[in-house]
């Protein structure tokens, strides 16, 4: 059975500097998007995206060596540093990985 993969989940929400009258597409999120692109290109960002409901916000899932490294990546995000977004880091364990085709239950289903 493959060992579950530890990753870190960032929950992004509107921060104190978010202009209330402006929807997400009109916010100054370009530097945040470029930052996530660089994390993706370095292999440290597994997935990221936006919530599509009225509450807004988004997530990013990081693959990095430890929680301190993940926290540093979160805190270096330009939108977090500026207060446009606030972020919460949570350790998360990937168990089912469709992209990698791994699951601790694959043998049980196949057998």
Identify which of 3-17, 19-33, 59-73 has the greatest average pLDDT: 59-73
- Where does the pLDDT of residue 1 fall: very low under 50, low under 70, confident under 90, or very high at 90 and above? very low
CA-CA distance, 22 to 27, in Å (whole number)? Answer: 7
Q: What is the mean pLDDT of the chain?
A: 86
DSSP state of 21: T
Q: How far apart are CA 12 and CA 58, in angstroms?
A: 5
pTM value?
0.81
| CATH number for the domain formed by residue range(s) 5-95+104-110 | 3.30.70.1060
Q: What is residue 104's predicted lDDT score, i.e. its pLDDT?
A: 65
21 CA to centre of own chain: 25
So what's the pLDDT on residue 110?
62
Task: Give residue 46's pLDDT.
Answer: 92
For the chain, which residues make up each domain, given as ranges?
5-95+104-110
Region class of 88: left (phi > 0), else alpha (psi between -120 and 50), else beta: beta
The string of DSSP codes covering 36-91 is: HHHHHHTT-EEEEEE--STT--EEEEE--SSHHHHHHHHHT-HHHHHTSEEEEEEE
37-70, pLDDT tens digit by residue? 999 999 999 999 999 888 889 999 999 888 999 9
């Amino acid at each position: 059975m493959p060992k579950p993969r530890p990753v870190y989940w960032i929950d992004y929400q509107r921060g104190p500097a978010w202009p209330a009258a402006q929807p997400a597409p009109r916010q100054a999120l370009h530097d945040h998007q470029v930052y996530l692109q660089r994390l993706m290109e370095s292999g440290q960002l597994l997935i990221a995206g936006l919530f599509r409901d009225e509450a807004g916000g988004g997530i990013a899932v990081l693959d990095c060596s430890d929680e301190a490294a993940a926290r540093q990546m979160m805190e270096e995000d330009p939108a977090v540093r500026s207060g446009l977004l606030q972020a919460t880091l949570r350790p998360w364990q990937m168990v089912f990985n469709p992209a990698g085709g791994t699951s601790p239950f694959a043998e049980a289903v196949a057998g």
